[in-house]
């Protein structure tokens, strides 16, 4: 793991051992691991340029403009 030289892909057995060690560290030391999925609904008119969102972020508001309509 940390501090060991890395020369390409680890053997599967070593990777499994590393994951088992990480799993035990999480069990021992982590109170919880939050999983958060937000869900938003946006109604954006066709004359609004630059507005939008995706799973990771909302578009910056300073990039939004209103087209002639």
Strands (E), 1-69: 48-49, 65-66
Averaged confidence pLDDT in the chain: 82
Q: What is the pLDDT of residue 21?
A: 93
Q: What is the pLDDT of residue 49?
A: 94
Q: What is the pLDDT of residue 6?
A: 58
Tens digit of each residue's pLDDT (9 = 90 or more) over 2-17: 556 656 666 788 888 8
Q: Which residue has the higher pLDDT, 37 or 51?
A: 51
The pTM of the full predicted model, rounded to 2 decimals, is: 0.40
- The pLDDT of residue 53 is above 80: yes
Tokens of 69: 């309509």
Q: Distance between CA 43 and CA 35 in Å, rounded?
A: 26
């Amino acid at each position: 793991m940390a501090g060991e030289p890395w020369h390409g892909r680890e053997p599967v057995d070593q990777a499994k051992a590393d994951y088992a060690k990480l799993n035990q560290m999480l069990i021992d030391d982590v109170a919880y691991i939050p999983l958060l999925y937000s869900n938003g609904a946006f109604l954006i008119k066709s004359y609004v340029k630059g507005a939008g969102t995706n799973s990771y972020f909302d578009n910056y508001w300073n990039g939004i403009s209103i087209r002639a309509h």
